[in-house]
Amino acid sequence: MDELPIGRRVAYWRGRRKMSQQVFADRLGKSKSWVDKVERGVRRLDKFSVLYEIADVLQLDASLLLGKEPERRADGLTCIDEVEVEEIRSALERYDSMSTFFATTPQPPSLAEMTKSVNHAWLTFQYARYGVLTRALPKLVRDAQALDSVANGDDAQPAAHLLGQVYQIASSALRKLGEYELAWLAADRSMAVSQRADDPLLAGVATYRVGSALLALGRARPALEVNVSVANRLAPGGGNDSNPERLSVYGMLLLQGAMAAARMGDNNTVRDLVNGAEEVAGALGSDQNHYWTSFGPTNLELHRAAAAVELGEGWQAVDTHEQKIMGQDGFNALLPERRAHHMLDLARGFAQIGDLDKAGEALVDGDRLAPSEIRCRPIAHEVMSNVLRRTRGAPPAPFAELAEHMGVGI
């Protein structure tokens, strides 16, 4: 995008922020005609003061509008910036499998090397090191695509399997960081690749990622339908085995369907799906990480609490936490992303019942477990703003310090 005129860059980022010209103009205190002329190059942007106002409205570094790479933020290890988003987008938009018809693909890593890199990326995600992960994702995606494009014979399906996993990792990280459309694109790519990998369970987990992205985009009903539809196909019995891998994937699909139903306010469907997942978790016996799902009895309770929050029943989420999660060995054994995610849900639950001190404590506890899960997620910023706005007097010091780190005004 470096070669684009500055007006085109303004138009590009305005579109990314989903602002109409009128909304953008209103926030700048300008006319729609002025914005249109700037974006078409009819009017020059020759004042740095105006340029910085535009950058502020678009919530990006002014150097991006000038076609330069911005300086990395001091907190770059915990969040994502526009440059990294565009690098990931560029990697996702590659079509290496098609390009091999016309040119030789650069030498990809071996299957063993790629497997090691993918496993490391999954652990990086589950430890909520999102900044580290997003810096590595563009190369990881390109390497997996390159390997998949040249693999043949016995290597073809394992290479496709790895590429499908990479797309899932990308989808999960992008969804956490608020890039929901890119998250959906990556998840959709994973579903297509999973068919070539000939692994129904990988396709099931890809469906879970698609459902998560759809839910983030506000499309709860399609998210519910796709999760339940594929869950029914993967259900144990009727010719399907009941191994731990299948139970884990099936259970997570049910839980993701429950989250979608909760977003729709469908309490009955939530109850049915959570109860179904509870049976599966009981059959599994313990929390496991097959297909990187972290599914098991404890994760089930985390989703029960999260669904209660989505239904506006904060008291139920708090009760679930206090009765079935807090202090349990299963919870303490979960990886940081899962535990910090639950503390964020718990903070929302406490906020719903008006216990702002406890909401703040939950956010601080989540930050101690996995700073990126709290400091970098849009939903966490919303909760922080909500609690600060409703808090009378000065907030407790740890909470105020966290708000400062997050850039949320007190």
Tens digit of pLDDT for each residue in 86-119? 788 888 876 654 444 334 445 789 999 999 999 9
- Give CA–CA dist 177/183, Å, rounded: 9
- Give CA–CA dist 385/400, Å, rounded: 11
- Reported residue count of the chain is 410
Region of poorest pLDDT, from 67-71, 156-160, 196-200, 305-309:
67-71
204, 196, 171: which is closest to 290 by C-alpha? 204
Averaged pLDDT of the chain: 88
Range(s) of the chain covered by CATH 1.10.260.40 = 6-65
240 pairs with which residues across the strands?
Answer: 237
pTM over 0.85: no
- Give CA–CA dist 1/256, Å, rounded: 37
Residue 188 pLDDT grade (very low, low, confident, very high; cuts 50, 70, 90): very high
pLDDT of residue 287: 94
Ordered alpha helix ranges (H), 217-353: 220-234, 244-263, 267-284, 297-310, 314-320, 329-333, 336-352
Give me the CATH topology for the region 6-65. Answer: 434 Repressor (Amino-terminal Domain) (1.10.260)
For 136, residues 6+ apart whose C-beta sits below 8 A from its C-beta are: 121, 124
